[in-house]
Structure 1
Amino acid sequence: MRRPARTRPHAAQLGFALAFGLCLLAGPVLAQPAQPAQLEKALQTERKKADERKGAVQKLTEREQALTGKLGEIDARMKAAQIRIQKQEEALDVIRKEEARHAEKFVQVREKREKSVRELRRLLELLWPINAQGMHEGARLADSWDAADRRFQWNSAAYGRARAMLEDVRRQEQLLSGELARQKELEAQVDRQLTIINADKDALLKDKLAVGARINQVSTQRRDIEGELQSIFKTIQQLNYQLVSQRNRKFDAFKATLPWPVAGRVVTSFSPDGRPARRGIGIATTQGAPVRSVFWGKVVHSDVLRGLGKVVILYHSGNYYSLYAYLSDVSVETGQDVEKDELLGNAGYYPEAHGNGLYFELRFQQKPINPQQWLMPAQ
């Protein structure tokens, strides 16, 4: 007898099986899920890291606050120095005005002295011939002695007044010269004080710049550690999600109650031993119908597979997987956690529906299982 010809597997189904197997074997993303004890240990490690980072952030925050306080102290000292400088400048301005007033008065006195000297010179030029004539005539004429004596006394008094006036002018000039020298010394003192205060101000400004740079450095370190902390918190959140999924979201506890991935009509049924073999179900849909996750899980594949269009594969707790094929577009990325009923994409062209549709599989430990036994009763 001739053996019946072996029916060749349906090409699309074979492609799905190969694609699914390759996805499940590809990379650490699809590795076997961690057990609760491993997740607990990983959580403890991440929490310890989070506590260390929080401690570091706290120390850096305190350091930043201390530096900010120091910066405030420097600002206060700079403000005080500025007030001192302003007072010194005001004092210097008063001294300079006083100096200008005395210098003007000195010029006036000097002009007065020069005028007096000129008058005295003219007086001497006038008196000297008279005095010389009187002395000459006094030697020859005894009867004119009294007149000569009167002239001599008058001349002496005139000379005395001139000398007194000249001495008085000299004393005033010396007094003003001394006052001017004192004003100069005061000005020099104020200038020296201003130099000291400005040097102090420059030093404070240098300290302020140094402290400001240190604050920026500490702030950058704090922000970097805060970024690490946020990443750790995200890891903790993911580990918690996996732990909760392991403990409370048992996939096998939802048999016959899972929601349908898309609204539509079943056009191909699960038939792994059929001719051709079908390891999932095909659903005809309206154009662009939304495709949603049937359970909480993680995206382990979100990409185009040759001949299958865009495909999303989700890992669920207990080593269960769900597959969604022939999508027109995808809304999730590999590695992303998804909620139950979360949008994965939209249905595209499905050949066996001769129009828009979705091919859907469920697998346990990579072995296909009948989706219709896990989904809610037919719509």
Structure 2
Amino acid sequence: MSEVTKKIEEMEAALFTADHCLSCTSCMSSCPVMEAEKKYLGPKMVGPAHRRMQFSQDDIEECLDFCSNCKSCERACPSGVAVSTLNMLQRAKYYETHAHSHCDDMLAHGERMAKRVRMLPGGPAIANLGMRIGKAMGVFGALGMAGERSIPPYAPKSFLQLFKDIRQPRSEKKVVFFPGCFINDNDPQVGVAFVKVMNANGYEVLVDEEFNCCGSPLVFMGYLAEAHEHADNNVAHIMKWQAQDIPVVACCASCSLMLKQEYHELFDDSKMQAAGRNVYDAFEFLEILAEKDELNTDFQPVEEKLLYHVPCHLKSQGLGVPAARILAQVPGVAVEQADAGCCGMSGNYGFKGDKYAISMKIGEKLFNRIKDADSDEVICDCGTCRLQIQHGTQAKTCHPVQILAKAYGL
């Protein structure tokens, strides 16, 4: 690698983008948290400012905790500053010398908890009952979580368990599915729909049980060292599949963003950047098939009016709206974009008790848009966005891949 190439790659790492900041306030004008919470000084005043000033004393801006890592600031920045990622790095720095709360530990380690639950006979049912009782008795609120919310229940069987019973046609064309924690443990039917869709397009779907959680909840809660361990493991397995020319595909926009982009931004590792090139969001991959005239368009009519909420972490991948473009080809489907900004959930942000009101205030525009829309269902590529929509509007929601599975008659 030449010195010039090395320098360019170094300048693309999140830590070094702080020096590109022009203090133009584009990040502040686009920040949904700043609009909802006046105590938040704004994105550029937290991570980027700390990085640029290189403070010689322990000095943490208290309002750093308000950042939801939605990445609206990064999309708005004209200078390419990784504002949100810098905020997450600064948050991790804070927790090097400060203890995490029980709430943080629980929300960051959903994968760990799910594995423990599924080790017990009838574990999911017992855990779901316990969570309902816990909510009714105010236990979660006492732990610092949003007592107004219901914790998403565990599915009776995980996606990985259901996958073992799916009979797929053998094919030379293969993809590896990265289910992520939410699909695997809470909403496995999204993963099942993905497998069916890929089978309809002549692909055999593989899974790699050695994958960990992508690490997004860990990063958000400041467990950066653990997130790095997850990244190292996942990247090693992605590159194993890359060597076999088999792409890795995710149905969760937060997972695909983390695997494709955020690992490299956070940890400045060239292997992570290379691995990211072998990762695709589900409809990104399907649109590539369409561009090559390889997408199966033998669709059955699906008479549904769909309102599409595009998640922030999909917007940050710069893909446009491939799900809307593909579903628009299905007879009977009418797709309209909500175009109402961030839902406010931002993964685990809206589950924190002290962030619940902010989360709901951010989501007001979307809630009103959904309530005013004449739609049969709201579609979204992010599981926690769907939870927020259900909580704020009681609307019926699903992943767009589930609509596509219907179009294939599956």
> Higher strand proportion, which one?
1
TM > 0.5 fold call? no
> Higher helix proportion, which one?
1
Bigger radius of gyration? 1
**Coarse TM-score class (shorter-chain normalised):** under 0.3
State TM-score, norm by structure 1: 0.19
State TM-score, norm by structure 2: 0.18
